[in-house]
Chains A and B, each alone.
Chain A
Amino acid sequence: MSRSTLTPDPRPLTPDLSVTIGSLRLKNPVLVASGTFGYGTEYAGLVDLSRLGGIVTKTLTPEAWPGNDPPRAAETAAGMLNSIGLQNVGVEGFIRDKLPYLQTVDTAVIVNIGGGPIEEFVAVAERLADCDGIDGIEVNMSCPNVAGGMDFSTDPRRAAQLITRLRKVVDLPLIAKLTPNVTDIGEIARSVEEAGADAVSAINTLRGMAIDVKTRRPKLGGITGGLSGPAIKPVAVAAVWSIARRVTIPIIGIGGIMSTEDALEFLIAGAAAIQVGTANFVNPKTGTDIVAGLDTYCAQEGITSIRSLIGSARVP
Chain B
Amino acid sequence: MTPPSSPSPVFQVRAEVVANRQIGPGLYWIDLAAPEIVEHARPGHFVHLVVSDTTPESPCPVWMQYTPLLRRPFSIAEHDRARGTFSLIYRVVGGGTHILSTRRAGESLDVLGPLGQTFVPIQSGRPVVMIAGGVGIAPFFFLAQEAIQAGRARPQDMTVLFGAATASLLSGSDKFRAMGIDVSLATDDGTAGFHGFVTVLLEDLLRQNPSRCAYLYVCGPTPMMRRSAALAKEAGLLGQMSLEGIMPCGVGVCMACVVPCVRPPAGTVYERVCVSGPVFDLQEVILP
Residues of chain A touching chain B, judged by Cβ–Cβ distance below 8 Å, are 35-38, 42-43, 45-46, 58, 66-67, 70-75, 78-80, 82, 84, 87, 229-230, 256, 258-259, 261-262, 278, 280-285
**Are B254 and A259 within 8 A (Cβ)?**
no
**Are A70 and B252 within 8 A (Cβ)?**
no
Q: Which residues does chain A contribute within 8 Å of B63, judged by CB atoms?
A: 78, 230, 256, 258-259
**Are A42 and B255 within 8 A (Cβ)?**
no
Best-surrounded residue of A87, A280, A281 (most CB of chain B within 10 A)? A281
**Are B258 and A87 within 8 A (Cβ)?**
yes
B248 at interface by CB-CB < 8 Å: yes
**Are B253 and A73 within 8 A (Cβ)?**
no
- Assuming A71-B246, A82-B254, A87-B270, is B50 touching A45 (CB within 8 A)? no
Q: Which residues does chain B contribute within 8 Å of A281, judged by CB atoms?
A: 70-71, 248-250, 253-254
B 2-14 to A, binary, CB cutoff 8 A, 1 in contact else 0: 0000000111100
Measured in the bound complex, the distance between the Cα atoms of B248 and A256 in whole Å is 15
Partner of A38, one of B12, B54, B253: B253
Within 8 A of A (CB), among B231-281: 245-246, 248-259, 269-270
Measured in the bound complex, the distance between the Cα atoms of B254 and A43 in whole Å is 12
B 211-223 to A, binary, CB cutoff 8 A, 1 in contact else 0: 0000000000000
Q: Which residues does chain B contribute within 8 Å of A73, judged by CB atoms?
A: 246, 248, 254, 256-257
**Are B69 and A285 within 8 A (Cβ)?**
no
Partner of B253, one of A36, A72, A79, A283: A36
**Are B258 and A72 within 8 A (Cβ)?**
yes
B67 at interface by CB-CB < 8 Å: yes
Minimal Cβ-Cβ distance residue in B for A258? B62
State the 10 A-B residue pairs at the shortest beta-carbon distance, nearest first: A38-B253, A230-B63, A73-B256, A259-B62, A281-B249, A72-B256, A87-B255, A258-B62, A281-B248, A84-B255
Q: Which residues does chain B contribute within 8 Å of A280, judged by CB atoms?
A: 249, 253
Q: Which residues does chain A contribute within 8 Å of B245, judged by CB atoms?
A: 70
B16 at interface by CB-CB < 8 Å: no
Minimal Cβ-Cβ distance residue in B for A229? B69
Measured in the bound complex, the distance between the Cα atoms of B56 and A259 in whole Å is 12
Cβ of B68 to closest chain A Cβ, rounded Å: 6
**Are B110 and A42 within 8 A (Cβ)?**
no
**Are B68 and A75 within 8 A (Cβ)?**
yes
Measured in the bound complex, the distance between the Cα atoms of B112 and A236 in whole Å is 29
**Are B252 and A38 within 8 A (Cβ)?**
yes
Q: Which residues does chain B contribute within 8 Å of A261, judged by CB atoms?
A: 61
**Are B256 and A282 within 8 A (Cβ)?**
no
**Are A230 and B248 within 8 A (Cβ)?**
no
Measured in the bound complex, the distance between the Cα atoms of B257 and A285 in whole Å is 22
Q: Which residues does chain A contribute within 8 Å of B257, judged by CB atoms?
A: 70, 72-73
Other A-B pairs, 10, CB within 8 Å; known A35-B254, A281-B250, A283-B66: A36-B249, A37-B253, A38-B252, A46-B112, A70-B257, A70-B270, A75-B70, A84-B255, A229-B69, A259-B62
Measured in the bound complex, the distance between the Cα atoms of B11 and A42 in whole Å is 12
Q: Which residues does chain B contribute within 8 Å of A87, judged by CB atoms?
A: 255, 258, 270
Minimal Cβ-Cβ distance residue in A for B67? A78
Q: Which residues does chain B contribute within 8 Å of A74, judged by CB atoms?
A: 246
Q: Which residues does chain B contribute within 8 Å of A283, judged by CB atoms?
A: 12, 50, 54, 66, 110
Partner of A72, one of B54, B71, B255: B255
Cβ of B130 to closest chain A Cβ, rounded Å: 27
Best-surrounded residue of B9, B253, B259 (most CB of chain A within 10 A)? B253
Measured in the bound complex, the distance between the Cα atoms of B47 and A107 in whole Å is 29
**Are A78 and B69 within 8 A (Cβ)?**
yes
Minimal Cβ-Cβ distance residue in A for B66? A282
Measured in the bound complex, the distance between the Cα atoms of B10 and A87 in whole Å is 24
**Are B70 and A42 within 8 A (Cβ)?**
no
Cβ of B192 to closest chain A Cβ, rounded Å: 28
**Are A36 and B69 within 8 A (Cβ)?**
no
Q: Which residues does chain B contribute within 8 Å of A229, judged by CB atoms?
A: 69
Measured in the bound complex, the distance between the Cα atoms of B258 and A87 in whole Å is 10
Cβ of A65 to closest chain B Cβ, rounded Å: 10
Measured in the bound complex, the distance between the Cα atoms of B251 and A116 in whole Å is 28
Minimal Cβ-Cβ distance residue in B for A88? B255
Measured in the bound complex, the distance between the Cα atoms of B273 and A71 in whole Å is 12
Cβ of A55 to closest chain B Cβ, rounded Å: 11
Measured in the bound complex, the distance between the Cα atoms of B11 and A258 in whole Å is 20
**Are B69 and A230 within 8 A (Cβ)?**
yes
Best-surrounded residue of A258, A261, A262 (most CB of chain B within 10 A)? A258
**Are B69 and A79 within 8 A (Cβ)?**
yes
Cβ of A262 to closest chain B Cβ, rounded Å: 8
**Are A67 and B258 within 8 A (Cβ)?**
yes
**Are A278 and B9 within 8 A (Cβ)?**
no
Within 8 A of A (CB), among B122-161: none
Measured in the bound complex, the distance between the Cα atoms of B252 and A35 in whole Å is 11
Measured in the bound complex, the distance between the Cα atoms of B69 and A230 in whole Å is 9
